[in-house]
Amino acid sequence: MSGYDGPTLRAIRESMGVPLRRVARQVGMSHGHLSKVERGEHGRPITPAILSAYEKVTGVSLAEAAAALAEQRESVVGRRGRTWRPGQLTDMRRLAFNAAIGAIAIGGQIGEPLGRLLDTTGRPVPPIVPDQGDVEQLHHFGELFTQLDLRFGGAMTSQLAKTILRWAVPMVEPTSVYDRDAQPLYGALGALAARAAWAAFDTGGHEAARSLFRLALFCAVRSGDPHLRAHIMADAAAHHNHLGYHDDALDVIRVVEGDERVAAPVRMAIHGVKARAYAASGAVATCRRHLELAEHAFTETPPVAPAWVVSLRQSGHLHATTGHALAVLAEHTGAAADRQEAIRRLAQAVADFNPDSHARAVALCQAKLSELHLQAGELEPGEWWGRQALAGLDQVRSARLARSVGSVRRAAGDYPEETRMAQLTSEIDAALITAEQPYGG
């Protein structure tokens, strides 16, 4: 029954002066179980038998109480003339609450664990029939989590996004059919799940990321948005690339590569992912071709597309994507020209990105620049870029960044006789040990 939950049942019972043990006797359940029902604990559902018991012992029609809450009515008149109104308290509970907030206001303790206090608020209840306002709020959450992820890394973003998804997914759970009326809702959920997947990947929660990529793709397909569908596939392929599954990355990305509806900024991302996969596989010519295709997609006329698609068309994205791919390619070719071009593009990406909004991307580029310089024996710029990346680790909670800084440490470790390299490696070791790395998948 919608409109109230465990805490509301408790409020009705206490306002009527009914002890919990009387309800327990009526329904034939333990006092402890009903206490957890009233706190809204997971796995403690409000069954019809429980509802019936509360109605009998309180004399208040719970259907009427639910309607009163929904309609913001002043009061409900139950059987035997007993009345109840939303928010009603017994004198004892009212005085106890006033005493509690008075004590807390002057530095006193709450008197119970904070987690249990939150349990008393009940479980999240999503709207059964979402409206346009719900969809718009989910879109805003997706935009907020994107900003947080790009700025601070995926640690907190992953947890917050999954919490919102657990609340929102029941809105589409009853059906998986294609429903045009539900497309905006699926689009909002798909974008939110895609960001949650990327944030989980960024924290090293790879199994969580795979589950979230599946959820994101499911929603994107039902939203009818070809750009979102393609971008999620590109992100899933990038995840494969990161883990060394380059053939799988190419297999995944080929599913959407031929979709002519996909806007140029998303195609730029697709070609960037493929370039990196081919670079890692040693397919030099094919890698270079996809680098050119990414650049061509960037130069195309800005599309008439959703704002998030247009936002992908940034020179920083282009230079970072192609620069990282060229860095991988240089490992195979051994060509100084490839290494220098990778350095040029990554340095340009650092210059293009706003560090206040893309701190993780900046730090990842800085770490790769340090590694490239150190591998070439260029210690001064290698040390400078390494320290820049190390500074980013203080603010960005990202397993990917920690791994990249670890690569800088290994490159610096090749010069043990150099005092400044020894100092850099010790500072990196200390940072990687003491940094509070992501909260898990």
CATH code of the domain covering residue 267 = 1.25.40.10
Say if residue 99 is in the same domain as residue 7: yes
Tally of domains in the chain? 3
Report d(CA 399, CA 405) in Å as an integer.
10
Report d(CA 225, CA 214) in Å as an integer.
16
Query: Of 125, 154, 184, which marks where a domain is finished?
Result: 125
Report d(CA 102, CA 218) in Å as an integer.
50
> What is the residue range of 19's domain?
1-125
**Sign of the CA dihedral with 164 first, then 167, 168, and 174 last:** positive
Say if residue 19 is in the same domain as residue 29: yes
Say if residue 82 is in the same domain as residue 120: yes
Say if residue 350 is in the same domain as residue 366: no
Q: Do the Cβ atoms of 204 and 239 come closer than 8 Å?
A: no
Residues contacting residue 399 through CB under 8 Å, at least 6 positions apart: 202, 203, 204, 437, 438
Query: Of 125, 145, 161, which marks where a domain is finished?
Result: 125
Residues contacting residue 243 through CB under 8 Å, at least 6 positions apart: 206
HEC sequence for the chain:
CCCCCHHHHHHHHHHCCCCHHHHHHHHCCCHHHHHHHHHCCCCCCCCHHHHHHHHHHHCCCHHHHHHHHHHCCCCEECHHHCEECCCCCCHHHHHHHHHHHHHHHCCCCCCCCHHHHHHCCCCCCCCCCCCHHHHHHHHHHHHHHHHHHHHHCHHHHHHHHHHHHHHHHHHCCCCCCCCHHHHHHHHHHHHHHHHHHHHHHHCCCHHHHHHHHHHHHHHHHHHCCHHHHHHHHHHHHHHHHHHCCHHHHHHHHHHHHCCCCCCHHHHHHHHHHHHHHHHHHCCHHHHHHHHHHHHHHHHCCCCCCCHHHHHCCCHHHHHHHHHHHHHHHHHHHCCHHHHHHHHHHHHHHHHHCCCCCCHHHHHHHHHHHHHHHHHCCCHHHHHHHHHHHHHHHCCCCCHHHHHHHHHHHHHHCCCCCCHHHHHHHHHHHHHHHHCCCCCCC
Q: What is the pLDDT of residue 32?
A: 87
Q: What is the pLDDT of residue 360?
A: 97
The model scores a pTM over 0.75: yes
Query: Of 125, 148, 166, which marks where a domain is finished?
Result: 125
Say if residue 272 is in the same domain as residue 349: yes
Say if residue 151 is in the same domain as residue 299: yes
For 61-118, write each residue's pLDDT tens digit: 766 665 655 454 445 544 444 555 666 666 777 788 888 888 888 888 888 888 878 8
Beta partners for residue 77, in sequence order: 83
Say if residue 34 is in the same domain as residue 166: no
Q: What is the pLDDT of residue 61?
A: 73
How would you label 75-110 residue by residue, b for 16+ Cβ within 10 Å and e otherwise? ebebeeeeebebebeeeeeeeeeeeeeeeeeeeeee
Say if residue 283 is in the same domain as residue 312: yes
Say if residue 329 is in the same domain as residue 248: yes
Phi, psi of 83 (to 5 degrees): -115, 155
pLDDT below 70 — which residues of the chain? 1-4, 62-90, 122, 174-178, 434-441
For 207-227, write each residue's pLDDT tens digit: 999 999 999 999 999 999 999
CATH code of the domain covering residue 109 = 1.10.260.40
What Cα–Cα distance (Å) separates residue 288 from each residue in 61, 166, 171, 275? 72, 42, 45, 7
Say if residue 118 is in the same domain as residue 216: no
Say if residue 303 is in the same domain as residue 237: yes
Say if residue 406 is in the same domain as residue 417: yes
